[in-house]
Amino acid sequence: MIIDRAIRFFLALNIFLLFSIKNFANNNLHSPANNISVTSFSVIENEIFDYINLHRKSIGLKPLQLNNIESSAAAKHSYNMASNKISFGHAGFQKRIKSISSQLGFISASAENVAYGTMNAKEVVDVWLQSPEHKKNIEGDYMLTGIGVAKNKKGMIYFTEIFTK
């Protein structure tokens, strides 16, 4: 009887903690103050990752590995573009790479793709593959990648993918 109560208490506590953590994460990822939405490793980011690696595999290249540090930097860059803290583009790229290398170690090569629009994962990867410079990055001799997405209050989605070796 005491064991049953302990198990029920433990399960109830775990359920409470699970919902508390989920609500905390959701409240912190979607900021109502500026209506910018950032979700690390969201469905669309994972789909972009999958489409990039499908393309690489189709041409005989090794798949990239998703890296949390790079994804965090990519998400921050997308957020900054979506919130108009910086213009759309690659401003601060070298600073992002320096920050990543301070955490991961030496980086011998790096690149970045950015895009914005109301595209889904497949559409943004297709747009990048139609651009010679973006395609070169996708097909480059890289090992790691990070992907970040942010959406502003007008529904415009900002995409960033960082590549490193």
For 97-127, the DSSP string reads HHHHHHHH---S-EEEEEEEES--HHHHHHH
> What's the mean per-residue pLDDT of the chain?
82
Q: Is the pLDDT of residue 90 over 90?
A: yes
Q: Is the pLDDT of residue 154 over 90?
A: yes
Query: CA-to-CA distance for 81 and 76, rounded, in angstroms?
Result: 9
Query: CA-to-CA distance for 125 and 127, rounded, in angstroms?
Result: 5
What's the rounded mean pLDDT across residues 128-145? 98
pTM score: 0.76
For residue range 103-118, list pLDDT tens digits in order: 999 999 999 999 999 9
Per-residue confidence (pLDDT) for residue 46, from 0 to 100: 95
**148 has which bridge partners?**
160
